[in-house]
Amino acid sequence: MNAAELKLDLFRRLDSLDSKKLEHLYTKIIGLINAEVASNEALSPEIKKALDAAIETSEKGNVHTHESVMQKTRELYPNLFR
């Protein structure tokens, strides 16, 4: 199903509910939407700072392959890869 079909299906299902069930479901749906938005915005200041530093470093051309990063990580933290 594409987005329009999903929305129409959801609308039809919601439209068939009595008002008490609709209010109960509405509360749950809004809670899920708010939790999803919050989880996308809930980066700690430390994480934001680290991401900003990584982006800045990358923009300066200081990048590495995945393989080289994994090799260095295995050397520094051998217990992570058991």
Domain ranges of the chain: 1-42, 44-82
**Contact indicator for 47, 40 with CB cutoff of 8 Å:** no
Whether residue 40 has pLDDT greater than 70 = no
For 18-29, what is the mean pLDDT?
A: 92
Alpha carbon 13 to chain centroid distance? 27
Whether residue 45 has pLDDT greater than 90 = no
CB proximity list for 57: less than 8 A, separation 6 or greater: 63
**Contact indicator for 1, 9 with CB cutoff of 8 Å:** yes
Q: What is the mean pLDDT of the chain?
A: 88
Q: Which residue stretches of 1-82 are H helix?
A: 3-15, 19-41, 45-59, 66-76
Model pLDDT, residue 37: 73
Whether residue 38 has pLDDT greater than 80 = no
